[in-house]
Amino acid sequence: MVRDLAQKAIDSLYYRFHPPEEPAKAITPDDMNPFAMATPLSVLSDFNGDKFPGGFGPTQLFTMDYWTLRARSSQLFEENLYARGLVRRLITNEINTGLAPEASPNEEIIGVAEDSLADWTEMVENRFAIWAKNPAVCDWSHQDTFGAKQRAARLEALVAGDVLCVLRVNPKTKLPAVQLIRGEKVRSPFDSAGRVRKGNKITEGVETDPNGRQVAYWVTQEDGSSKRLPAFGEKSKRRIAWLVYGTEHRIGEVRGTPLLSLVLQSLKEIDRYRDSTQRKAVINSILAMFIEKGEGKMGTLPVQGGAVRNSKVEVTDSDGTSRDFTMSSQIPGLVMQELQTGEKPVAFRSQGTEESFGVFESAVMQAVAWANEMPPEILTLAFSNNYSASQAAINEFKIYLNKIWGEFGDAFCAPIYVEWMLSETLLGNINAPGLLEAWRDPAQYATFGAWVWADWYGSIKPSTDMLKQVKGSEKAIANGLTTRGRESRGLTGSKFTNNVKKLKRENALLADAARPMMELEAEFGPAIAARAIVALEDATADLLERTEDGM
């Protein structure tokens, strides 16, 4: 019977996949319906990312709670050493002393001779550097240089998600002055109804027009009222205020999320684990020994269930006066005495700290570094002895730094540089023919962009092997793959033109210093010149010795 059932099952499966031939018939509209054509083995399903039903888990639709994220991120930055270390490492590597512009006006688009703007470029960079180094000129609060302002803006953007940058006009110099407003101050007013233009809306303190463009920002004042700051001047159309974001934000989002938002709980947990491990080590160090009872007899104190503790004893000083001596404050731990038979003190064998803490810490920090596009070696400052591995980590981080320099330079530094350039041109300090006309005419955007073009560079990480880097740069320059200016920026963070000028002066000084010796050799010969040099060195040494003895 079992054999018959097995044979029927095999036949059923065979005819299911190999149905008997049927005579041809005309195709009807129903035959074209995919559902009508489906066989019993066909399964209709939607692809939603699950490998099996429920494999992905519940789908969450996020609504950003910016206030809580900012508050928790600020708290973590203030009290968590990992959070502060992460942010500070990023700012130190990204901004350092501040991004500096390399003016690169496009002479072909402007319509001037090639290399005719070399001196103009040098003058513009020098004037901007002078403006950036003077807090009374570049900072609205007269406290920070432009480099310090960049660090403050980047710090607020990373910790709070975004920062509001406002350009004021210095009444004395007529040049732009930078003011920073913390992102938490940008909030929607309670009485926003009737205060915005028709078609505009306010989202998280940011006013946008029907096209989604940010046109104004609502800033909460000290008295609780809200003040509207337009993004551009109504008449001048010049930049006034804009948000600088710390991380990327998706299309349609007007506020930024803190850098630490993704790892808030992870950093909190690792900090708790570290504190717990530290407390365990402290407690283990306090417990010097304990009382071990080796026989089944009544203990020293059957009521209290333990030995006697002498916390205080009376001692007599040399003058005959008595006083209490607190032993627990003089000797770590407790002093036990009057032990019963079978009781003995046994040293407490500490198990040390949690051995897995280092592994746990390393795993979490690697995940944090990965989430923030940062090599773990850079974040933890723990490089291996392998040159190739260390150089690979530095190269990966340089890729990240180049991206950040471009993004932060375009988002924060470039608008300030453009407004500074316009102000200097209006004041007559910079001669840029056609710049103002192109700025007022959107059709001449190419000319305007050619005048204000600038690349932004930060501090360069020192090479682990400068000799190899320099040789590679020499070959790249010789084959036309790069320029001396770019290699000077990439290797030392300095400008090639400034280096050449300084070298020219140094070489002239060196030639002047060597000229007397060359004349001495030409007149008396190399041997006489060499003896003169030795005599001069001996006389100098004797003079220094007499000076030291006299002192």
Alpha helices in 465-525 (DSSP H): 466-478, 484-492, 496-524
Q: Where among 230, 257, 284 does a domain terminate?
A: 257
Residue in the block written with tokens 């009807």: 28
Considering 199, 234, 257, which residue would you say is the last residue of a domain? Answer: 257
Any idea which residue has 């302002």 for tokens? Answer: 149
149 assigned to some structural domain: yes
pLDDT in tens, 8-53: 555 554 445 455 555 545 555 555 555 554 455 566 667 788 887 7
User: Mean pLDDT of all residues in the chain?
Assistant: 79
In which region does residue 242 sit, left (phi positive, over 0), alpha (psi from -120 to 50) or beta (all else)?
Answer: beta
Domain membership of residue 188 (yes or no) is: yes
Report if pTM > 0.75: no
Residue 180, in any domain of the structure = yes
Q: How high is the pLDDT of residue 185? A: 93
Range of the structural domain that residue 203 is part of: 66-90+136-257
What the block records as the tokens of 271 is 């900090």
417-434 pLDDT, tens digit per residue, is: 999 999 999 999 999 999
Q: Are 342 and 291 in contact (CB under 8 A)?
A: no
Q: What is the pLDDT of residue 492?
A: 72
* H runs (alpha helix) in 310-386: 327-330, 357-371, 376-380
- Quick check: helix, strand or coil at residue 251? coil
Decide if 268 is inside a domain.
Answer: no
Domain boundary residue among 257, 276, 304?
Answer: 257
464 falls within a domain = no
Model confidence at 303, in pLDDT bands (50, 70, 90)? very low
- Higher model confidence: residue 412 or residue 194? 412
User: How many structural domains does the chain have?
Assistant: 2
Question: Domain for residue 508, yes or no?
Answer: yes
Inside any domain, residue 215 = yes
Domain annotation covers residue 319:
no
